[in-house]
């Protein structure tokens, strides 16, 4: 894995369904651009032409027979391509990368949700990322039923969104466990709040991040 320093910062947004990641990705992008920081936004699974094709396979409700292992391997196949073709080159040029989901989603969904051992996920993580990790991960946390309700208002549900509430409770618990294990990387946002309130929590996180990187005094 190529060295990403000195370079941009890699910021990931995580959370359950309908937590508000996509909505707030744009808000964070605007904040960074206002601070004069070059930034690109992307998502997982996806972010490159090949990875977006893999995304289609993963979200297709017709793929009812997909095994948990196939799902896990497809997530990392999409990620390997995304890292090599998009994320690392951008960071090496000094551009910040804002990514809607990354490997914490794999621990939450394939680990917590599907029940795959974390040790097996960690093997693939090391293979694909070779130690590379986000600089900061913003976890949008909210009760499962609130997120599902928000997501369902958007229309047709994808293959993951068709899972039952208990699946998403395990996803939420896995995210919170990871945040507890890695407090230096995670920032938890209470996403069960009006958007204004969510964004003022984000302002706090961004101010801290920008002052740490010397982008504001
Ligand atoms: N996946 C992904 C894995 O299983 N393993 C992996 O390794 C990875 C990377 C696709 C799926 O892939 C799975 C997880 C996912 O199921 P995705 O496209 O990111 O990932 O899918 P979703 O989580 O389904 O994305 P959503 O769009 O549902 O969630 P967001 O982005 O968190 O929510 P957002 O911003 O679209 O908001 C949802 C709705 O709520 C409103 C918005 O306007 C919108 O209508 N909203 C609010 N309403 C009230 N108050 C607020 N504070 C609100 N914030 C947003």
The mean pLDDT of 50-79, rounded to a whole number, is 97
Written as six digits, the tokens of 82 are 């995304």
Q: Whose CA is nearest to atom 54 of ligand 1?
A: 20
What is the distance in A from the centroid of ligand 1 to the CA of 22? 6
Which pTM value belongs to this model? Answer: 0.95
Say if residue 3's pLDDT is above 60. Answer: no
Q: Whose CA is nearest to atom 23 of ligand 1?
A: 17
Ligand 1 site, residue 160, Cβ cutoff 6 A:
yes
pLDDT digits (tens, 9 = 90+) for 180-200: 999 999 999 999 999 999 999
HEC string of the chain? CCCCCCCCCEEEEEECCCCCHHHHHHHHHHHHHHCCCCEEEEECCCCCHHHHHHHHHHHCCCCCCCCHHHHHHHHHHHHHHHHHHHHHHHHHCCCEEEEECCHHHHHHHHHHHCCCCHHHHHHHHHHHHCCCCCCEEEEEECCHHHHHHHHHCCCCCCCCCCCCHHHHHHHHHHHHHHHHHCCCCEEEEECCCCHHHHHHHHHHHHHHHHHHCCCCC
Name, in order, each residue with C-beta under 8 angstroms of 199's C-beta and a sequence gap of 6 or more. Answer: 24, 27
Write the burial class of residue 147 (CB in 10 Å: 0-12 exposed, 13-18 middle, 19+ buried): buried
Q: Which of 13, 48, 52, 101, when mutated, tests ligand 1's pocket best, judged by the most ligand atoms within 8 Å of its CB? A: 101
Confidence band of 155 (pLDDT split at 50, 70, 90): confident
Q: What mean pLDDT value characterizes the chain?
A: 94
Say if residue 216's pLDDT is above 70. Answer: no
pLDDT (0 to 100) of residue 152:
82
pLDDT digits (tens, 9 = 90+) for 83-139: 999 999 999 999 999 999 999 999 999 999 999 999 999 999 999 999 999 999 999
pLDDT digits (tens, 9 = 90+) for 15-61: 999 999 999 999 999 999 999 999 999 999 999 999 999 999 999 99
């Amino acid at each position: 894995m190529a060295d990403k320093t000195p370079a941009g910062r890699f910021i990931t947004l995580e959370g359950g369904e309908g937590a508000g990641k996509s909505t707030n990705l744009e808000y964070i992008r605007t904040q960074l651009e206002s601070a004069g920081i070059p930034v690109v936004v992307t998502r997982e699974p996806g972010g490159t032409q090949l990875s977006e094709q893999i995304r289609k396979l993963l979200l297709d409700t017709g793929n009812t027979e997909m095994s948990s292992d196939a799902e896990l391997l497809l997530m990392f196949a999409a990620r390997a391509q995304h890292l090599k073709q998009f994320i690392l080159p951008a960071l090496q040029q000094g551009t910040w990368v804002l990514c809607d989901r990354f490997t914490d989603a794999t621990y939450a969904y394939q680990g917590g949700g599907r029940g795959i051992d974390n040790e097996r996920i960690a093997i693939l993580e090391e293979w694909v990322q070779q130690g590379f990790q986000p600089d900061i991960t913003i976890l949008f946390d909210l009760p499962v039923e609130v997120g599902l309700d928000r997501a369902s208002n958007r229309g047709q549900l994808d293959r993951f969104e068709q899972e039952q509430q208990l699946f998403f409770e395990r996803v939420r618990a896995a995210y919170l466990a990871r945040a507890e294990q890695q407090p230096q990387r995670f920032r938890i946002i209470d996403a069960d709040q009006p958007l204004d309130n969510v964004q003022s929590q984000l302002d706090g996180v961004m101010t801290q991040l920008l002052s740490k990187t010397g982008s504001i005094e």
